C-alpha cells in the first residue's frame, strides 16, 4: 500500500468524520469511521520527515495550510486545527534529531507537550505523542504497533473514566484498526499529487462551513 493510498484513506476518513460532526450530529457511525484518519496523518508526517528534500519547505507548507485553515476550523470546531498538531509534532521530531544534547531536546519536547495541554489543540497531547512514538519506533512495526496500542488504550480509558461513556470502545477499536493500513505500507510513494492534499484540507472545511450557513438561512 503506497503513501498515496494511505493519504486517500486518511482524507476519506477525515471527511466522513467532519461531515458527521457538522451535518449528522446524532449519528455516531461517522465519528467511528473518522477515527482512522489521524493515525494515518501522523504516520505520514514521520514518513514526510524522513523523505523530504527540504525540511524548511515542509514546515512552511504545513504552517501555511494551518494558518489558512484556522479561521474556518475555529468557526466550525473551535481550537487549533489538526495541521497545527501535525506541525508541532514535526517540530518535536526536529528538536529530538537536531539537538545533540538529548537532555535539552527531551526537556524542550516535554515543555511543548505540557503547553499543548493549555491550548485547545486538535487531538491534543495524545496526537503529539502518537507522532513522536511513530518516529521513535519507526524501524520496527511490532514496537510501533505495541506503543501505539498502549497509548491509544490509555487515552480512551481516561476518556471513558471521565465521561463514564463505555461506547467509546467502538471509536477506540477503529483507531487501533488504522494499524492495519500502516503495517501494509510498502515504502513506496505512489502517485505524486502532493499539493492536492494541502489544498483539500482547507477546501473541504470551507465547503462544510458554507453548507452549514445555507442550512441556517
The sign one gets for the Cα dihedral 63, 69, 70, 74 is negative
pTM for this entry: 0.92
Dist. CA 40–CA 3, nearest whole Å: 10
The pLDDT assigned to 117 comes to 84
Q: What is the pLDDT along the chain (217 residues), one digit of tens a residue?
A: 888 899 999 999 999 999 998 888 766 888 899 999 999 999 999 999 998 889 999 999 999 999 999 999 999 998 999 999 999 999 999 998 887 777 888 889 999 998 888 888 999 999 999 999 999 999 999 999 999 999 999 999 999 988 888 888 999 999 999 999 999 998 888 777 778 889 999 999 999 999 988 877 6
Q: Which residues contact 196 (CB under 8 A, 6 or more apart)?
A: none
φ, ψ dihedrals at 80, nearest 5°: -95, 135
Closest listed residue to residue 36, CA positions, set 175, 148, 168, 131: 175
Residue 8: other Cβ atoms inside 10 A: 17
Let me know: does 30 contact 21? Beta carbons within 8 Å: yes
Residue 63 and residue 47: Cα distance in Å, rounded? 18
Question: What pLDDT score does 63 carry?
Answer: 96
- 182-194 burial: b if 16+ Cβ within 10 Å, else e: beebeeeeeeeee
What CA–CA distance (Å, rounded) separates 88 from 154?
Answer: 22
**2 Rama sector, left if φ>0, alpha if ψ -120 to 50, beta otherwise:** beta
pLDDT of residue 86: 97
Helix (H, G, I), strand (E, B) or coil at 80: strand
Amino acid at each position: 500500500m503506497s503513501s498515496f493510498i494511505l493519504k486517500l484513506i486518511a482524507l476519506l476518513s477525515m471527511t466522513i468524520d467532519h461531515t458527521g460532526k457538522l451535518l449528522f450530529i446524532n449519528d455516531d457511525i461517522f465519528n467511528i469511521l473518522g477515527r482512522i484518519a489521524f493515525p494515518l496523518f501522523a504516520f505520514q508526517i514521520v514518513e514526510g520527515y524522513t523523505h523530504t528534500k527540504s525540511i524548511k519547505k515542509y514546515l512552511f507548507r504545513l504552517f501555511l495550510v494551518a494558518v489558512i485553515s484556522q479561521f474556518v476550523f475555529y468557526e466550525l470546531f473551535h481550537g487549533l486545527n489538526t495541521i497545527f498538531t501535525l506541525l508541532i509534532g514535526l517540530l518535536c521530531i526536529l528538536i529530538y534529531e537536531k539537538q545533540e544534547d538529548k537532555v535539552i531536546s527531551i526537556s524542550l519536547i516535554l515543555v511543548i507537550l505540557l503547553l499543548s495541554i493549555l491550548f485547545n489543540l486538535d487531538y491534543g497531547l495524545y496526537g503529539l505523542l502518537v507522532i513522536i512514538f511513530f518516529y521513535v519506533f519507526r524501524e520496527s512495526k511490532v514496537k510501533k504497533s505495541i506503543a501505539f496500542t498502549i497509548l491509544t488504550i490509555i487515552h480512551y480509558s481516561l476518556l471513558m473514566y471521565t465521561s463514564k461513556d463505555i461506547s467509546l470502545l467502538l471509536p477506540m477499536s477503529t483507531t487501533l484498526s488504522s494499524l492495519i493500513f500502516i503495517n501494509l505500507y510498502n515504502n513506496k510513494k505512489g502517485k505524486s499529487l502532493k499539493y492536492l492534499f494541502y489544498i483539500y484540507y482547507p477546501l473541504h472545511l470551507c465547503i462544510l462551513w458554507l453548507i452549514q450557513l445555507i442550512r441556517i438561512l
